[in-house]
Every structure is written in C-alpha cells, then in structure tokens.
Structure 1
Amino acid sequence: MPLQTQLVGQCTSPRHHAVDTRWTMAYAAGLQDENPRLRDTTQASLCVHPLFPVCLEWPSVLDSRALPGHDGLSDDELARGVHATHDLHVIKPIVPGQAYQTTARVVDLQAGHQGARVCLQLDTYDEAGDLVTRTWQTNVSRGVTIEGPAATPIAQAPAWPDIHLTQQAVDARREIPIAVSAGLGNIYTETARIYNPIHSDRAFALAAGLPDIILHGTASLALSVTALSRELLDGAVDQVTRLGGRFTSMVVMPQTLTLHITAQGSDWALFELRNDVQAPVIKDGFMVWSQASATAII
C-alpha cells in the first residue's frame, strides 16, 4: 500500500530509557573499541561512544512505522525499507546512570526513484528536559508509492557540511583497514539492542532476498567513528559534535572494510568506507568535533 501524506507532522509517544554503564560499555566492546575512555570505570566519568544514541532511537524508529499513514504497509513492504542517510548532532553528552526519552517526528515524505523517502527527526532529552541529541534520518521504502494531498515539510534537515570546499581543506588521504568478524551482526544486535533478523538470522535474510546476514548500517558507521576517533582525536570521543553519511552498499560478513580519510581540517574529517571489492559502503561520510565551523545545527 502507498504511504499517506498525512504521515508528515506526526510524532511518536516518548520512549523512556535507563542508560547504565553495562549497556554503554557493551556497545563499545561489541565494536572492539578498546578506548579506555569508554570502558575504564576507574575514571571520574565514563564517556559514551558517539554513535550510542542510535540505541535509544531504534524503538522510536519502529514506533514511527505504526503512525497513521504508515501503518498500512505489509510485512513485505516493511522488509524492503532501508536506512539511507544519517546525520547525528550531539548537543550534550549522554551520561551513564541517567534517564532519557526519545521521540521520532516525521518531518518530510517525498517520492524518490527507488521508492518513498521518509525523513525522521529523532530527539533525545535528558531528565531535565534538555535536548541531548538530534538525528535527521532518511529511510527509503523501496517500491512503495505516496498517496494523498501534497504535504509541506514541517522542518528542514540542515545542510550537510561542505567544509571540504573551504580553504581549510587539505588532501589527507589515508586508508585504515577495519576487520568485520562473521558474528558481528549478532553481537551488534545484542549490544545495541537493535533487533532486525536480517542482521542475525541467516534463514530470514535469505528469505528476504539477501545474499546472507548483513551488518547494520549504524554498525558500519560506528566502526568508522571508532577508527576516526582513534586516528584523529587520540580517543577523545567526547569532543565529537556531529557525524553522518549516506549508506550505499550492504556488508556481508566476514570481510575487511577500508576507511578512506579523504580530507581533514583542524576539527573535521571527511571519509568514505569501502568493502573488500572497493565498492562504497558509506559515501559522503563526515565527523565534526568541538569548535568546528560546521557545528551542530538544531
């Protein structure tokens, strides 16, 4: 069935989360991120992996599929949905031991050449009611059309950083290999608490027309951020203010990915992640850290 334009403007009910060190450390360990800032509890405060907010956002992403206008899709149509783009803004650090709540608002719905493009604004707030993170996420329902009167977007996703066009940009081409184990899909499923059987159940993945179990897009992005933080920030992950990219290819496991740092400034980097046949897995990747010219735009 088509997606209905009445979907635009609707928001999910808040999802409440208790974030503890067990969860945040498991997330980092599942990525084989050995940064002591993420797992050494003898420190005064424990940092959280920059992409951990996706763990809080996933239940709200699922809730958005039950909103009026989206709830008519069949199981087959839902299974054809793909995560296309991700743009995470970190306003305040997530702190283990605190409670958070997350909502998903549909801000735009457009017809694309592959299917309906749904743009979500995912907001996470702390106990004081302060906005902690905001993610602009585009999902594509492949082969699904749109029906209803034209709907005006209720919010405009911020432009992606064009810092590679500034005078700061330097050619910083470096390549970093990233090993992906055969079981990473299952591990990430449990540590991120993002349950989708195409990432953990081979029979389900094959029945869905996939070549095998595939890795979560956010896991590929998290692995990239781990490598960038180690290479460029000496592990100071709490400095990251914005990150994202476009997901372009699936990752079958095991294999070795290659992170290509294509340009770098004093507080930003651009990258591309490629698979073992050099096809892009993430294109137009970026990471921005404190005091950057392209800081979080909310």
Structure 2
Amino acid sequence: MPFSTTMVGGTSKAFVNDIDARWIMAYAAGLGDTTPSYIDTESNIVIGHPMFPVCLEWPAIMDCANIPGSESITSDERTRDVHAAHDLHIHRAIRAGDKLTTSATIVGISKIGPGIAQTIRIDTIAGDGELVCRTYQLGIKRGVDIIGEPTFVEETPALPILPEIMDRGYQYSIPLAKEAAHVYTECARIWNPIHTDRAVALAAGLPDTILHGTATMALAVSEIVNHCLAGDSTRVTRVGGRFRAMVLLPSTITVDIHSVDKTLITYTVHTDTGKPAINQGFVCYH
C-alpha cells in the first residue's frame, strides 16, 4: 500500500542507554580495531569508535514504524527498505559512563524512480541536554508509492564539496570472514535478519546475507583514523557516504583514501569485484 506523508514530522520514542565500557569495547573488537582509546580501561577513559552512535540509533529508527501514518505499510513493504546514505555529525565522542537518550524524527518523504525516499534525523543527547551526535539517514523503499505530496519539515545540511577523484590513492584491503555480519550484529546490537538469517535475506530478494552498510563504513573509518589521524578518533567531526553495492561474505573490501586536506578526507570502498560499496565517502576532522 502507499506510504503516507503524514508521518513527516513524527518522532519515535526516546530510548535511554547507559553506555558502559563493555559495549564500546565490543563494538571496536567486532571491527578488529584495537586502538587503545576504545579498549584500554586501565590507562584511558574508554571512548566510542566514531561510528558507535549507530548502535544507539537502531532502536529509534525501528520505532519510526510506529509513528502515526505508518498503518498503511505492509510487512512486505517494510522489508524493502535500503539504507542509501549516511551523514553523521559528531559533537563529542561518546564515553563509557554516559547516559544518553536517542530519538528519530522523519524529516522528509518524496517519490523517486525506484520507490520513495525517506530522510530520518536521529538525535542523541546527554542528560544535560547536550547534543552529542546527530545523523541524517536516507532510506529508499523500493516499489512503494506515497499518499500525499512530497513533504519536508527541514532541510538537511549541505554535504562537503568533494574534490574530483584523480586516482585511487592509498589503498588498504580488509578481508572479511563469513561470520563478520554475525559478529557485528552482536557487538553493535543491531539485529536486522537480512545480515544473519539466510532465509530472510533470500526472501527479501538478496543473493545471500550481506554485511551491514554501517559496518563497511566503520571499517573504512578505522583505517582512515589510524592512517591519517594517528589513531586519534576524537578529531573526527563528521562521517558520511552513499551505500552502493552489497558486500557479500566471505570477501575482501578495499578502502581507497583519495585526498586529505586540513579538514576533509575523502574515500571509496570497493567490493572484491571492483564495485563501489561506498562512494562519495568523507570524513571531516579538526
């Protein structure tokens, strides 16, 4: 059935999380990233990987299905959602001991060729009202129409102007095991069955289970932080990119770091068949 634009402006429930070192360490370990600031509880205040906010955002994104106006969406249509683009703004690193509240607001729905485009803004705030991070997530629902006119309640921030890619630049290959999606699922606490349940993945029209887009992005960010920022993830202020080809498992992905200037790093991630898994990738930093 068509997707109602009356959902625009609606907000999910607020989800409160007590952030402990165990979760932060597990997320980093699931990526194979042993940077001391993520895992050394003796000599550091343990901080979250730059992509750790996705762990907190998942329940709020799922709860958007309960926003008034969503009643017309069938269970089959819910399986057609594709995470198309991600734009994470980091105001400060998440730390062990934080008590954070996360909610998601649908800020735009429009009709596009493959179906509909839905933009969700996800805010994570501390107890004193401090905005810790904010994500703008673009999802495409394939083969779905809309009821009502295209609707937006706010403009999304302009993306960084990316320089033209002149060559592939620095390249780093990352081998991925067959169980990589299962490990990421449990460490991130992001439970989407298309990544771990083959029957569900096949029923959704996929060739097999696939790696999470945020896992692919997080692996790239780990390499960028370690190669370009001397392992100091607190310098990262924004991470984004567009998700393209699926990452099947087992396989090897390649991170291409194209350019590094005073505030911006650009990257692409390729699958082992040479297709871009992430393009228009960027990391902003100070």
8 Å contact kept, 2:27–2:52: yes
- Runs of 4+ residues over 3 Å off in structure 1: 169-172
One-letter identity of the residue aligned with 1:190: E
Question: How far apart are the structure 1 equivalents of 2:199 and 2:276?
Answer: 26
Aligned partner of 2:252 in structure 1 is: 256
Task: Summarize the Cα distance change of 1:206–1:151 in structure 2 as closer, same or farther, 3 Å threshold.
Answer: closer
> 2:263 pairs with 239, 262, 267, which one?
267
Aligned partner of 2:163 in structure 1 is: 164
Secondary structure at 1:65's aligned position in 2? helix
Question: How far apart are the structure 2 equivalents of 1:84 and 1:253?
Answer: 20
- Matched residues, percent identical? 41
Secondary structure at 1:277's aligned position in 2? coil
Aligned partner of 1:205 in structure 2 is: 201
Aligned partner of 1:296 in structure 2 is: none
> 1:239 pairs with 230, 235, 239, which one?
235
Task: Summarize the Cα distance change of 1:205–1:163 in structure 2 as closer, same or farther, 3 Å threshold.
Answer: closer
> 2:226 pairs with 226, 230, 241, which one?
230
> How far does residue 249 in structure 1 lie from its aligned partner after superposition?
1.0
Aligned runs of 1:98-117 on 2, under 5 Å?
Answer: 98-117=98-117
Secondary structure at 2:268's aligned position in 1? strand
Secondary structure at 1:164's aligned position in 2? coil
> 1:276 pairs with 235, 256, 272, which one?
272
8 Å contact kept, 1:247–1:283: yes
Aligned partner of 1:174 in structure 2 is: 170
Aligned partner of 1:188 in structure 2 is: 184
One-letter identity of the residue aligned with 2:194: I
8 Å contact kept, 1:99–1:127: yes
- Cα deviation per residue 1:123-146 (whole Å; 9 max; x = unaligned)? 000111111100000111100011
8 Å contact kept, 1:8–1:151: no
Aligned partner of 1:287 in structure 2 is: 283
| Structure 2: gaps spanning 5 or more residues | none
> How far does residue 163 in structure 1 lie from its aligned partner after superposition?
4.6
Q: Report the RMSD for the aligned CA atoms in angstroms.
A: 1.5
Aligned partner of 2:70 in structure 1 is: 70
8 Å contact kept, 1:20–1:97: yes
One-letter identity of the residue aligned with 1:95: R
Question: How far apart are the structure 2 equivalents of 1:153 and 1:240?
Answer: 29
8 Å contact kept, 2:108–2:154: yes
Aligned partner of 1:20 in structure 2 is: 20
- Cα deviation per residue 1:61-115 (whole Å; 9 max; x = unaligned)? 0001221222321111111111000000001221111210011111110111111
8 Å contact kept, 1:171–1:264: no
Question: How far apart are the structure 2 equivalents of 1:277 and 1:85?
Answer: 21
One-letter identity of the residue aligned with 2:156: A
Question: How far apart are the structure 1 equivalents of 2:262 and 2:167?
Answer: 13
One-letter identity of the residue aligned with 2:155: Q
8 Å contact kept, 1:172–1:264: no
TM-score with structure 2 setting the length: 0.96
Secondary structure at 1:276's aligned position in 2? coil
One-letter identity of the residue aligned with 2:233: V
Secondary structure at 2:152's aligned position in 1? coil
- Cα deviation per residue 1:232-287 (whole Å; 9 max; x = unaligned)? 01110111000010001111101110111122212321011000011000010000
Question: How far apart are the structure 2 equivalents of 1:270 and 1:124?
Answer: 25
- Cα deviation per residue 1:20-54 (whole Å; 9 max; x = unaligned)? 00000000000001211211112231221000000
Task: Summarize the Cα distance change of 1:204–1:172 in structure 2 as closer, same or farther, 3 Å threshold.
Answer: closer
Question: How far apart are the structure 1 equivalents of 2:72 and 2:151?
Answer: 21
> How far does residue 174 in structure 1 lie from its aligned partner after superposition?
1.2
8 Å contact kept, 1:172–1:263: no
Secondary structure at 1:86's aligned position in 2? strand
